[in-house]
Structure 1
Amino acid sequence: MRIFLADTTATRKLGITLGQSLNAGNVILLEGDLGAGKTTLVQGMAEGLGITDPIVSPTFTLINEYTQGRLPLYHLDLYRLESNEVAALNLETYWEGVEVTLGIVAIEWAERLPYKPDSYLSVRLTYGDENTRQVEITSHNCAISEEITTMRI
């Protein structure tokens, strides 16, 4: 499914809709160039989950945990890591809820994951013409809510 996003407000609005419709255990794998809107989308997801803390890219911290919303949000950024370094993090503990409360896992630069969960949404953000963006959402063994499939921004 492809959605054209006119600006950052539209990107955030898509994130809000995602955040309102996601369930515990959902994993969002985000890909796209620098500045394509990955963090903006996660900021919207947090808003949709009822999280009021400021959402910043965890480029240097790797993982930010937000637990005060409808569901916890685990925001990961793999930009500075190589695949072998990512493997050592045991990220599956987040989407399996082994050592943390099961919530939403949003992973920026997901192409650096050497392994993927059994079910996830793949979200690829790309630049379009004149500062517009396009997002392609692909479901891998998980349902996309009707709100998202019928969304027009």
Structure 2
Amino acid sequence: MIFSVNSVEQTTAIGLELGKLLKSGDIVCLTGDLGTGKTHITKGIAKGLGIDDHITSPTFTIVNEYDSGRLKFYHFDVYRVSDPDEIYAIGFDDYIFSDGVSVIEWANYIEDILPNEYLHIHIEKNLDKGENFRSITLKPYGERYDYIKELKL
């Protein structure tokens, strides 16, 4: 499933609609270059889960936890993780195999330790169309995520 967007608001809206559909235990893995909109998708997901907190990327803390929505929400940023042991040390498995929703920015940095089933979202810039244009590709790994076919914008 591929979406084309040309604004931050449209990027966030995809996350919002996805957040409304996400279920307990879901894992969303985000990839894309710097500045493509991974955190904006994450902000939308949080809002779709009913979380009104200010969402920031946990670049230096690796994970931020939010529990004010319909499900617990774990927001990972593994950009600065250089060794899988570092992410295991924070209790990675306890988060992603919990009943909360986990979103992992820069998931390609830890792909060797990801579970078999997750929803992959890749964002890339379409500079030939303009500065704000993006292609957002959602690809489910595992039957668990077949429900994303219900995503409507």
> TM-score if structure 1 supplies the norm length?
0.89
Unaligned runs of 5+ in 2: none
Unaligned runs of 5+ in 1: none
Q: Which amino acid aligns with 1:111?
A: N
| Larger helix share, 1 or 2 | 2
What is aligned with 2:37? Answer: 37
Identity %: 36
CA 1:83–1:73 in 2, change beyond 3 Å: closer, same or farther? same
What is aligned with 1:146? Answer: 149
Q: Which amino acid aligns with 1:145?
A: I
Root-mean-square deviation (Å): 1.4
What is aligned with 1:118? Answer: 116
CA distance in 2, matches of 1:26, 1:67: 15
1:118 deviates by: 2.6
What is aligned with 2:95? Answer: 94
Moved more, 19-28 or 127-136: 127-136
Aligned residues: 146
Query: Does 2:100 align with 1:103?
Result: yes
Q: Which amino acid aligns with 1:60?
A: F
CA contact (8 A) 1:78 1:110 kept: yes
Q: Which amino acid aligns with 2:118?
A: Y
CA contact (8 A) 1:20 1:48 kept: yes
> TM-score if structure 2 supplies the norm length?
0.89
Local SS of the residue matching 1:105:
strand
CA contact (8 A) 1:4 1:132 kept: yes
1:31 deviates by: 0.3
